[in-house]
Amino acid sequence: MTFKALYVDMQGENLIHAIKNITIDDLSDGDVIIEVKYSSINYKDMLAFKKKGGVIRKYPMIPGIDLCGEIVESNNPSYNIGQKVLATGFGIGVSHTGGYAQYARLQSSWITPLPNGLSLKDSMIVGTAGFTAALSIESLQQAGMNKSNQPKIAITGATGGVGTMAIALLKAKGYDNITAITSKDSQSPMLKSLGASDIVSPKDIIKDDNKPLRPQCFDYVIDCVGGELAAGLLTQISYGGAMSVCGNASGIALNTNILPFILRGIQLIGIDSVAYPNEKRLRIWNEISNAMEFIRKIPTTEVTLDTLVDRLDSIKNSTNTGRNIVSINNQ
Ligand SMILES: NC(=O)c1ccc[n+]([C@@H]2O[C@H](COP(=O)([O-])OP(=O)(O)OC[C@H]3O[C@@H](n4cnc5c(N)ncnc54)[C@H](OP(=O)(O)O)[C@@H]3O)[C@@H](O)[C@H]2O)c1
């Protein structure tokens, strides 16, 4: 049997991509084979198509860090043929052939049974972006964020995948005091429809006077952007508050100072969705499935393996809003 897969490869100094007809033997090893129904496009997937994107660990590679579908072969008795599953992170689409193919062969220790109440398509609307947003919210709740106080919560990169998912998940949990920090003023109505109560421009946060502390404007922050915006926000977090950081859309630098930590007791929490332990994932996915009514309001663009590459530019040049899913075996 042959099937379609989207490859990236290095040819000399150039990164190329092509759809190829391949067989199961061309996939990385694993104990389950999944007929892929949907994948998604995350920021990291965009980097996979960039020369020196820093994401692909070996070439040639089938990118796609997220996938879902039905098991067609299983050497693990816990997973049955026909069972619906999803997978995100680990080595998928990076060092292990990923979701941009009609079939995937994975380690069963990387997959999660599809939670009740979630369709396969829903699971990819959520994808790594939504899973990361859920982990960010959980980390802030562990740091003291509680809806009974209606804390003031800021989200950077608000129109992106993680940002929109964070707003929808917070709203679903009953948080009402949500500030969306976005450079896309035109997307204010969309962000308000998801649950943002205020819209702020990054320009109002980033100051070039290097003040170590500023007025305390936000109790908690979910940051997807890094750089000057994250540094600016650290100086504006209220006493006892916290900021989770998951992204580096504006770069990896974080030039900060010690005073917000030692005078206001704030916390800075790193989020990693890739190696998050599999045994803890189903609980997070079950919580996400309870929020689908809110998540379905996020603008979502559907592409195919043939049209996927055309969609990458919107993520590269930061004009993307919401989520992008890839429909694969849905004829
Ligand atoms: N740690 C993890 O496990 C994990 C998991 C998922 C994602 N991430 C990271 O999180 C970040 C966001 O991912 P995503 O999927 O949400 O990406 P996305 O959909 O492309 O959204 C990124 C958003 O960030 C803002 N942005 C982009 N470039 C910027 C720049 N140069 N300066 C300031 N803001 C910029 C834009 O929002 P506005 O126009 O609204 O400002 C953009 O929509 C990425 O860095 C990604 O690698 C990490």
- What pLDDT, on the 0 to 100 scale, is given for residue 211? 94
Q: What's the CATH number where 6 sits?
A: 3.90.180.10
d(CA 261, CA 201): 25
CA of 77 to the centre of ligand 1 (A): 38
Shared-domain flag, residues 171 and 194: yes
For ligand 1, atom 33: residue with the closest CA: 250
- Tell me if 99 is assigned to some domain: yes
- Tell me if 293 is assigned to some domain: no
Residues with Cβ within 8 Å of 23's Cβ and at least 6 positions away in sequence, in order, are 1, 2, 3
For ligand 1, atom 4: residue with the closest CA: 246
Parent domain of 158: 129-270
**Share above pLDDT 70 across residues of the chain, in percent, rounded to a whole number:** 100
- Tell me if 121 is assigned to some domain: no
Give the confidence band of 68 by pLDDT, cuts at 50, 70, 90: very high
- Tell me if 290 is assigned to some domain: no
Residue 98: HSE in the Cβ half-sphere, 13 Å Cα cutoff: 35
Residue 79: HSE in the Cβ half-sphere, 13 Å Cα cutoff: 25
- Tell me if 119 is assigned to some domain: no
Query: In ligand 1, which atom is closest to the CA atom of 132?
Result: 5
Strands 178-181 and 198-200: parallel
Q: Among 135, 126, 64, 88, which Cα is nearest to 305's?
A: 64
Tens digit of each residue's pLDDT (9 = 90 or more) over 198-238: 999 999 999 888 899 999 999 999 999 999 999 999 999 99
Shared-domain flag, residues 253 and 133: yes
- What pLDDT, on the 0 to 100 scale, is given for residue 210? 84
Mean pLDDT confidence for 57-68: 97
Shared-domain flag, residues 98 and 159: no
Round to the nearest angstrom and report the end-to-end CA distance of the chain. Answer: 17
Quick check: helix, strand or coil at residue 189? helix
Domain count along the chain: 2
- What pLDDT, on the 0 to 100 scale, is given for residue 207? 86
By most ligand atoms within 8 Å of CB, the mutation choice from 90, 162, 201 for ligand 1 is: 162
Query: In ligand 1, which atom is closest to the CA atom of 246?
Result: 1
Tens digit of each residue's pLDDT (9 = 90 or more) over 228-265: 999 999 999 999 999 999 999 998 999 999 999 999 99
- What pLDDT, on the 0 to 100 scale, is given for residue 218? 98
- What pLDDT, on the 0 to 100 scale, is given for residue 331? 56
- Tell me if 38 is assigned to some domain: yes
Give the confidence band of 304 by pLDDT, cuts at 50, 70, 90: very high
Give the confidence band of 83 by pLDDT, cuts at 50, 70, 90: very high
- pTM (predicted TM-score): 0.97
- Indicate if the pLDDT at residue 104 is higher than 70: yes
- Tell me if 213 is assigned to some domain: yes
- Indicate if the pLDDT at residue 137 is higher than 90: yes
